Structure 1
Amino acid sequence: MNTMAEARFQTQQRSSQDGRETSLWSSGFGMKLEAVTPFLGKYRPFVGRCCQTCTPKSWESLFHRSIMDLGFCNVILVKEDNTRFRGWLVRRLCYFLWSLEQHIPPCQDASQKIMESTGVWNVISGRAPGGAGEGPVPSHVKKEVQRILGHIQAPPRPFLLRLFSWALLRFLNCLFLNVQLYRGQMKMVHKAAQAGSPLVFLSTHKSVLDGILLPFVLLSQGVGVLRVAWDPRTCSPTLRALLKKLGGLFLPPEANLSLDTPEGVLARAVVHATVEQLLASRQPLLIFLEEPPGVRGPRLSALGLSWLGLVVQAVQAGIIPDALLVPVAVTYDLVPEASHDACHALAPLGLWTGLLAVLRSLRRWGCSRRVCVRVHLAQPFSLQEYTINARSCWGSRQTLEQLLQPIVLGQCTAVPDTEKEQEWTPVTGPLLALRQEDQLLVRRLSWHVLNASVASSAVMSTAIMATLLLFRHQKLLGEFSWLTEETLLRGFDVGFSGQLRCLLQHTLSLLRPHVALLRIQQGDLLVVPRPGPGLMSLARLSAELLPAFLSEAVGACAVRGLLAGRVPPEGPWELQGIELLSQKELYCQILLLLHLLPQDLLLLQPCQSSYCYCQEVLDRLIQCGLLVAEETPGSQPACDTGRQRLSAKLLWKLSGDFTDSDSDDFEEAEGRYFRLSQQSRCPDFFLFLCRLLSPVLKAFAQAAAFLHRGQLPDTESGYAEQLFQFLQATAQEEGLFECADPNLAISAIWTFRDLGVLQQMPGPTGPVLHLSQAFASWESQEKLGQFIRQFICS
């Protein structure tokens, strides 16, 4: 089961007579590399451009022309040169002097402005005795508003901000090797800030440290004090009080009450007024669009959608003319708190608990396991422009049950010409107060921004190494070089550079808990992934590489599904290459797989149709050399013009005669046909692409096999725990540890619920899952399993 991957750590000293470099050849690809340099030619691949369809003006105006000429800066590298002073004492106090010199704009207490805002005043007047506008406002109502406002925010304290920046700078230097920021991306943000509209940063959420790292980075770059929308579930009351003085924002619990409760109406009015005042004063705001790490459930955060909905509503109400949205992402070699034990509930982090966690992190990571961090800022775009243009791209949508269930059960073969509707994020109180159309706008805007954030994220060396170890590649040196170049060629950046052997040493030292290093002859090392939790951790890291190869992986699995009924799954590559694959069949198979895979994994832009994505997938397969175009069977080759004769209708006509078209006498062209390429490198690359999606597909297949074993009816959390235990038991028997992930279990249950396999019924203590009538029989369950297994390449 454990195949070996070898990496040579120790290089012998080169003699002065022989200055030739060692050639490292990638197996099957003939690529000669000694150093991994993240450059293609002279320029880095620029990532993070905004959507040209939805925001064409922003795409053109908010792009920094000289971005390619700018390099990186290490944000936590503070020396004597970063201060105005010089000398022996300054070199020892440079962190403290640097924190004193940071520009912190004055943040005045805006409680009176919020109290006098139109929305809050209307609610207060309506709650006063005698009706709206009659009599004085009761003092207890004003105290209630002050209490809600105190729960949301507090005026930032400049002295506390400087002290915290100094302490955080020392902590980050102990924890990380570097925190890199691309100067060109920062130039775009500064240019957008000069337009006069407030900046709203929308970020992914990889670590609890993101909430303090991003404000520190942006404050050091002159953006100002960032107001961060925190999740109240992750912080204790003491920690919330501290974070509010550092610029934190918290949604009051009353805001999630039903729309007809007076407490909920007043809390939402205060939250609206707070956000409006922040945007009007042009204070930058940070919202996390993903759930905190360790939380089971959908990728999109319901709390993040609520805050983004408040911003959208402020722009639509005309409180501010526009807001500029900046997609943000933070990538780590390894997440510092990387326990990743999602089986445990997310406990609130207290102040003393946080300090102890910091000390443990410093002791655990130390100098031997310090990681690198990259902060990514994608191109800003106008919210007003998006709201105007995005609605024109919305088409009709159907549920997964309407699209896929008849095909799974064999009742029809044609895929409907419509998009899939799949919403997994619950609607909270602030978002529920919006119109249905605005709720849809906020959701699709969130997918748009999250797609841009993931596309701009750099692939770290640990993700590449984990992928090679997980998929059992034989030569780490050559394959690491090849995979790095392939990632760059697909327009994704990488977060490392330097000598290849040094990179492998650093990466394997970080992955040491998940791999076994066995020394063999002449300094060689045998690298073997540890079974169990080690393989699970490698699978999570390798998932960060999937966005770069997602189109090709979807196409490869679709081709595997198309060939599943024609040639044996274990048949030789030459036999599979004989089969002709029509473009129509490929489109149909890709669409089926797109409908099956969850939206959280695909992250498709809402303005992009599935059929356009099918064409993109097909183009990618052709570009990477896996598919070769063939002529239509039995037709005359397109390049053979020797026997063609022009009819009389195609002779020259009088100028201006457009009575018929020149193409009227040609028969409608049939679909194109393709074969699998027979190049020597293609079988391994095809298998590599299929294995990128194998954890998800195998988890879904095991979930289908578990339908007749699980105890139903049961609650969603109870059935998820049953399925997760089954995945763990199967992993012990078959070695599929990469599938034993609780998030994959949740994703499979929700996909089956959308597909109509599971039905949610009301129960005495809450919703309960039942097996639907359509999949009650073993035959239907077996059809579902076969439908999923056709895309899996063993």
Structure 2
Amino acid sequence: MATMLEGRRQTQPRSSPSGRETSLWSSGFGMKLEAITPFLGKYRPFVGRCCQTCTPKSWESLFHRSITDLGFCSVILVKEENTRFRGWLVRRLCYFLWSLEQHIPLCQDAPQKIEESTGVQNLLSGRVPGGAGEGQAPDLVKKEVQRILGHIQASPRPFLVRLFSWALLRFLNCLFLNVQLHKGQMKMVQKAAQAGSPLVLLSTHKTLLDGILLPFMLLSQGLGVLRVAWDSRACSPALRVLLRKLGGLFLPPEANLSLDSSEGLLARAVVQAVIEQLLVSGQPLLIFLEELPESPGPRLSALGQAWLGFVVQAVQVGIVPDALLVPVAVTYDLVPDALCDIYHASAPLGLWTGALAVLRSLWSHWGCSRRICSRVHLAQPFSLQEYIVSARSCWGGRQTLEQLLQPIVLGQCTAVPDTEKEQEWTPITGPLLALKEEDQLLVRRLSCHVLSASVGSAAVMSTAIMATLLLFKHQKGVFLSQLLGEFSWLTEEILLRGFDVGFSGQLRSLLKHSLSLLRAHVALLHIRQGDLLVVPRPGPGLTQLARLSAELLPVFLSEAVGACAVRGLLAGRVPPQGPWELQGILLLSQNELYRQILLLMHLLPQDLLLLKPCQSSYCYCQEVLDRLIQCGLLVAEETPGSRSACDTGRQRLSRKLLWKPSGDFTDSDSDDFEEAEGRYFRLSQQSHCPDFFLFLCRLLSPLLKAFAQAAAFLHQGQLPDTESGYTEQLFQFLQATAQEEGIFECADPKLAISAIWTFRDLGVLQQMPSPAGPRLHLSPTFASRENQQRLEQFIRQFICS
């Protein structure tokens, strides 16, 4: 160790005086410390198995047995070997030759087949209300159908697709170091496509680039032209024309009209016919189930659910016997800034705006040599028909958050109702309203199920790990030598929990790459001992680190919920800053832990938890408890004066069980054990537990602190006000509090919106109609300062500073 430190002193470059920032991004860290860790490149868990409860047949049959034996490939790495030709000239024209060799199937007579579909013909013949028989000439209705069809789609132009693929390949190679794809996952999807059922890819949405990157990736893998469902509000008319010729689909504005509107009826019939024709022809379809992170709205996309509703309806009426759904996740080291800024513009994205954003991205990344990495994950396909049949049996009664949580917050009762929470933040669009109420519920729960699978299968990037360590463990700074070890530790913890990481290689190179991408939010300082001090820059940059660290939350979400629940259980018994040894003396019963976990689960937004609809709250409580035991934070403890848990003597069995005839299995044996007190636990006294417990609690602290500050803001806010106006008020309050207390990770407009919607579900805020539109009012129950303080105290019990 002394020799290693001496080597680091000798290789340290000269810089400014001690304590001042230094620039080491091009010359390395000034250290010759090689850390070879056992996890990198040697163990990768398989992620993305479909639900065994809802789709057991797909879970067994659509799985590629040798998936773990296949490696990765970079879809943007095109060389001479990827073409049929060899030679000096081919090496310089390989991108162009590659684009010429891509197979692009032709779509012929698609408009004619759409006009001949059953739904459109019923309108043309007047057999349904709103058709030609309602006073409209058939020729006029037919022209309207053609106009709507032209707004929805156009036949892909092979030459334009090849030219755009060549230009995109150039752009991606300038912007990205690599775009990784697991070859085993691709084989699994290709094998599923050969079964004959059409593929419907349901993806997360990190940036506008996803809608271009995913079609390029599938085209390069031989699956043809991917049809992408775009949001027409985000694109200008000129850009919509270009995207339609590249395979894009756009929902016409008339489709969102009321059910009694003839224009809305005709538009929905044409869209349904387009989806049916795509599924029959076997063309793959891409739907984004997640809104963009920058959008001021819910996580689950209303437009994505509308497109998925058309697919579900096509399968239910028997147009196609089945469709295979593929959850997709795309992750980036760092989303390009220029591609994020164009989404914030008030006007729709145009051709020139997009071109300027591309040039800005190329210039910024070429000038500072900061190329990013990306990872595309394809989860296991599953049968939509199988899900429709089996998922309905998992539906049960639900209650609103106001019914579940408000009496407990106000101290009117202590028991948590034995029911699930009903929380729906996504508005119902016109296409979904055209479905039966049962089918609407099916589409919503299917969307939650697939989005949960997509987020759970997303790879964790190195920047997310780095941001989490700096924000929640070392906000005051950490030595680089210590950061190397903790990066390795956190990566192993991620892999052990069944999640994958989107990187590999030597640890020192990974840290250099991550810190170079985060250079705007991180400062490197020299110290006399020859090491480097990594310090997060105080200020609004912590908000960006919090957004990056949120990508790590699904990995530790169960443990974080459990740790905050334990913190709430101990809040009234020991001082918040009391020693760990004092907290470990107390016994925690299983029933108390279940209650605290349920309370926190109901408080947290459904968009954060992303629980599968087939999983009950009590099953999740048991999963949380098991995770806390597995990670070593909780230790089972026998109750004082009770028999050992392993004691199965006959004296502990009831008379009914003793005289039960052999072969009678009508009752479970565990029901007859005399367990009056239940199970008890203590906090583990291992040396690593206090730091790990605090780390887990801090993962949820940005959201919980924002909720607590929103509760404190109730008596200061100006109500009544519109939702957007009150959101702006709360956001300004969060920013002012961040300046005073330094908690910039809470100053996020998304957290402000989440707090307002949660308080609206909880009955704290009420939405009332007015001539100027709906306005938020403070409910009479929480008009008193006493109840507002109770709400704030209820939230703060889960926060561990």
Are 1:293 and 1:340, in contact at CA under 8 Å, matched by a contact in 2? no
Cα offset for 1:668?
3.5
Distance in 2, matches of 1:303 and 1:650, equals 56
Q: Deviations over 1:206-247 (max 9, x none)?
A: 011000000000000011100000011211100000000000
Q: 1:49 to 1:692 in 2, by over 3 A?
A: same
Cα offset for 1:124?
2.4
Cα offset for 1:348?
1.2
Are 2:63 and 2:380, in contact at CA under 8 Å, matched by a contact in 1? yes
Q: 1:108 to 1:406 in 2, by over 3 A?
A: same
Q: Deviations over 1:124-176 (max 9, x none)?
A: 22299998669995432222111110000000000000000000000000000
Letter of the aligned partner of 1:544 in structure 2? E
Q: Deviations over 1:224-282 (max 9, x none)?
A: 10000001121110000000000000000011111111111111111111111111111
Distance in 2, matches of 1:648 and 1:708, equals 61
Are 1:326 and 1:377, in contact at CA under 8 Å, matched by a contact in 2? yes
Are 2:148 and 2:270, in contact at CA under 8 Å, matched by a contact in 1? yes
What is the correspondence of 1:28-47 to structure 2 with a 5 Å cutoff? 34-35=36-37, 37-38=39-40, 43-47=43-47
Report the counterpart of residue 472 of structure 2 in structure 1. 471
Cα offset for 1:112?
1.1
Cα offset for 1:527?
1.6
Q: Deviations over 1:463-502 (max 9, x none)?
A: 0000111124343111101000000000000011111111
Are 1:257 and 1:429, in contact at CA under 8 Å, matched by a contact in 2? yes
Are 2:653 and 2:674, in contact at CA under 8 Å, matched by a contact in 1? no
Are 1:287 and 1:307, in contact at CA under 8 Å, matched by a contact in 2? yes
Q: Secondary structure at the match of 1:485?
A: helix
Q: Secondary structure at the match of 1:376?
A: strand
Cα offset for 1:659?
12
Q: Deviations over 1:336-392 (max 9, x none)?
A: 136867995654110011111100000011261100000000000000000000000
Report the counterpart of residue 368 of structure 1 in structure 2. 369
Are 2:132 and 2:141, in contact at CA under 8 Å, matched by a contact in 1? no
Report the counterpart of residue 409 of structure 2 in structure 1. 408
Report the counterpart of residue 441 of structure 2 in structure 1. 440
Distance in 2, matches of 1:665 and 1:275, equals 56
Are 1:109 and 1:155, in contact at CA under 8 Å, matched by a contact in 2? no
Report the counterpart of residue 425 of structure 1 in structure 2. 426
Q: Secondary structure at the match of 1:480?
A: helix
Report the counterpart of residue 60 of structure 1 in structure 2. 60
Report the counterpart of residue 117 of structure 1 in structure 2. 117
Cα offset for 1:622?
0.1
1:699 aligns with 2:701: no
Are 1:38 and 1:488, in contact at CA under 8 Å, matched by a contact in 2? no
Distance in 2, matches of 1:620 and 1:338, equals 40
Q: Secondary structure at the match of 1:518?
A: strand
1:321 aligns with 2:321: yes
Letter of the aligned partner of 2:780 in structure 1? Q
Letter of the aligned partner of 2:762 in structure 1? L
Q: Which moved more, 1:80-89 or 1:139-148?
A: 139-148
Report the counterpart of residue 693 of structure 2 in structure 1. 686
Q: Which has the higher contact order (CA 8 A, sep 6+)?
A: 1
What is the correspondence of 1:200-599 to structure 2 with a 5 Å cutoff? 200-337=200-337, 344=344, 347-366=347-366, 368-473=369-474, 474=478, 475-521=482-528, 523-599=530-606
Are 2:122 and 2:128, in contact at CA under 8 Å, matched by a contact in 1? no
Q: 1:657 to 1:178 in 2, by over 3 A?
A: closer
Q: 1:413 to 1:660 in 2, by over 3 A?
A: closer
Q: 1:522 to 1:362 in 2, by over 3 A?
A: farther
Report the counterpart of residue 126 of structure 2 in structure 1. 126
Cα offset for 1:764?
1.0
Q: Which moved more, 1:513-522 or 1:395-404?
A: 513-522
Letter of the aligned partner of 1:96 in structure 2? F
Report the counterpart of residue 196 of structure 1 in structure 2. 196
Q: 1:120 to 1:628 in 2, by over 3 A?
A: same
Are 1:128 and 1:135, in contact at CA under 8 Å, matched by a contact in 2? no
1:150 aligns with 2:145: no
Q: Deviations over 1:602-657 (max 9, x none)?
A: 00000000000000000000000000000022212234689969999998998779
Report the counterpart of residue 26 of structure 1 in structure 2. none
Report the counterpart of residue 15 of structure 2 in structure 1. none
Distance in 2, matches of 1:747 and 1:129, equals 41
Letter of the aligned partner of 1:686 in structure 2? F
Q: Secondary structure at the match of 2:106?
A: coil
Q: 1:646 to 1:502 in 2, by over 3 A?
A: closer
Q: Deviations over 1:414-450 (max 9, x none)?
A: 0000000000000111111011110110010001000
Distance in 2, matches of 1:635 and 1:471, equals 41
Q: Secondary structure at the match of 1:729?
A: helix
Q: 1:430 to 1:647 in 2, by over 3 A?
A: closer
Q: 1:370 to 1:780 in 2, by over 3 A?
A: same
Are 2:202 and 2:327, in contact at CA under 8 Å, matched by a contact in 1? yes
| TM-score normalised by L of structure 2 | 0.92
Cα offset for 1:515?
1.2
Are 2:652 and 2:673, in contact at CA under 8 Å, matched by a contact in 1? no
Distance in 2, matches of 1:513 and 1:132, equals 62
Distance in 1, matches of 2:196 and 2:672, equals 59
Q: CA RMSD in A?
A: 2.7
Distance in 1, matches of 2:752 and 2:217, equals 36
Distance in 1, matches of 2:311 and 2:131, equals 30
Cα offset for 1:663?
7.7
Q: Which moved more, 1:395-404 or 1:367-376?
A: 367-376
Distance in 1, matches of 2:228 and 2:75, equals 20
Report the counterpart of residue 18 of structure 1 in structure 2. none
Report the counterpart of residue 29 of structure 1 in structure 2. none
Q: Secondary structure at the match of 2:635?
A: strand
Q: 1:332 to 1:716 in 2, by over 3 A?
A: same
1:82 aligns with 2:82: yes
Distance in 1, matches of 2:694 and 2:399, equals 33
How many residue pairs match? The answer is 773
Distance in 2, matches of 1:656 and 1:202, equals 48
Q: 1:678 to 1:714 in 2, by over 3 A?
A: same
Are 2:63 and 2:188, in contact at CA under 8 Å, matched by a contact in 1? yes
Are 1:294 and 1:341, in contact at CA under 8 Å, matched by a contact in 2? no
Are 2:653 and 2:672, in contact at CA under 8 Å, matched by a contact in 1? no
Cα offset for 1:519?
2.4
Report the counterpart of residue 108 of structure 1 in structure 2. 108
Report the counterpart of residue 787 of structure 1 in structure 2. 794
Q: Which moved more, 1:124-133 or 1:563-572?
A: 124-133
Distance in 2, matches of 1:659 and 1:462, equals 54
| TM-score normalised by L of structure 1 | 0.93
Q: Secondary structure at the match of 2:328?
A: strand
Q: 1:113 to 1:644 in 2, by over 3 A?
A: closer
Q: 1:612 to 1:12 in 2, by over 3 A?
A: closer
Q: Secondary structure at the match of 1:521?
A: coil
Structure 2: tracts of 5 or more residues without a match: 1-18
Report the counterpart of residue 723 of structure 1 in structure 2. 730
Q: 1:339 to 1:718 in 2, by over 3 A?
A: farther
